[in-house]
Copies of this chain bind each other. A is one copy, B any other.
Amino acid sequence: MTIAPVACLDQVPALVEPRIRDLLGRLDPRNQRVGAYQLGYCDADGAPTAAGGKGIRPALALLSARAAGHPPERGTAAAAAVELAHNFSLLHDDVMDQDTMRRHRPTAWAVFGTAAAILAGDALMILAHDALAGDSRPGGAQAARRLDADVHRLIAGQAADLEFERRDDVSLDECLAMAADKTAALMSCACTLGALLCGAPAALTQGLSRFGVHLGMSFQLVDDQLGIWGEPGRTGKPVGSDLRARKKSVPIVHALTSGTAAGDALRSLYASTHELQEADLMTASRLLEESGSRDWVQDQADRHLAGALDELAALDLPADVHDDLVGLARLVTGRDH
């Protein structure tokens, strides 16, 4: 199969960025600047850059409109809304997690301060509504409700994630539910919102939504692995950052609840009160492999990717749209090479 994800990702700077820049222009200068930095449109001094995210979510939203038989332009409002909502959550998550690096740059709060990052996040979330409110098609109200419902799940997932750091009895089911809320909900929203806005039939929007849930789970599981085993060149974050923060991501909770000797050893390490050093991180990483968690998580990520592709195959999509969605799905889950 020929995979050409680049082509549909290229539509994001062409179609979605101008819309988002236009929306950003409605903000006061202070929030505009922090928002533009977060979105990768400028550096800390306001000079133009091209350091933003890959644009996976907006690309999916444009494809969602194409899946409904419309040109990608008809998904622009959905793509802008999803990208703004995603960056709202990144701004606030980085404050809450005290993460100092994202996408190979200092995080917004590290540059502009905590208060500025909180406010800019608030502003981007309202702008996401503005993006949809500016689209007068009948599907607009349904799209707005869907976005809000998924943002509620994103917030609930982040709340659970933070609570897990303070608990030592997190079950694997709880942890998977947290990942579904925190990551898969907005990914599924991206896959559905363009079609909703175009008034697509329920069978299509529901199929795209299920595709997005599988894709989001697979992406999160791969991301959890990257949070433990690198690679920083890909993630822009330090290796072992999740372990250092004693995060309860899926691989870690799988190990802790595995009933293996390696899982018990990891539990002891996590229960210690000292700051985890490089040697501890290497030990933890080894214990995760010994407990079988690394293999299990990769297997689950592959199953979700397969589930996503099955959902796509069951929809009667134009061949080019199908292939672009497959290409993006493989890219997002690190299965593009």
A-side interface residues toward B, CB under 8 Å? 26-28, 30-31, 88, 92, 95-96, 114-116, 118-119, 121-123, 125-126, 129-130, 133, 141, 144-145, 148, 151-152, 155-156, 158-160, 162-163, 181
Contact = CB atoms under 8 A, between A and B. Distances in A.
A118 B130 contact: no
Contacts of A160: 28, 30
- Chain A interface, DSSP helix/strand/loop, else mixed: helix
B27 A116 contact: no
B155 A31 contact: yes
Given A118-B92, A122-B92, A152-B123, A30 B159 contact: yes
Number of copies: 2
For A114, A122, A145, A181, the residue with the greatest tally of chain B CB atoms inside 10 Å of its CB is A122
B122 A27 contact: no
Contact of A119 (B26, B92, B130): B92
Nearest to A122: B155
Given A27-B156, A96-B118, A133-B148, 19 more contacts: A28-B156, A28-B160, A30-B163, A92-B118, A96-B114, A96-B119, A119-B155, A119-B159, A119-B162, A122-B122, A123-B152, A125-B125, A126-B148, A126-B151, A126-B152, A126-B155, A129-B129, A133-B145, A141-B141
A114 B141 CA distance: 33
A180 to B, nearest CB: 12
10 contacts: A28-B181, A30-B159, A30-B163, A92-B118, A115-B162, A116-B159, A118-B118, A119-B158, A126-B155, A133-B148
A163 B34 CA distance: 13
Contacts of A116: 159, 162
Contacts of A156: 27-28, 30-31, 123
The 6 nearest A-B residue pairs measured at CB = A28-B156, A96-B115, A30-B159, A123-B155, A119-B159, A126-B148
A123 B31 CA distance: 20
Given A122-B125, A152-B26, A31 B159 contact: yes
Nearest to A156: B28
A139 to B, nearest CB: 13
For A119, A148, A155, the residue with the greatest tally of chain B CB atoms inside 10 Å of its CB is A155
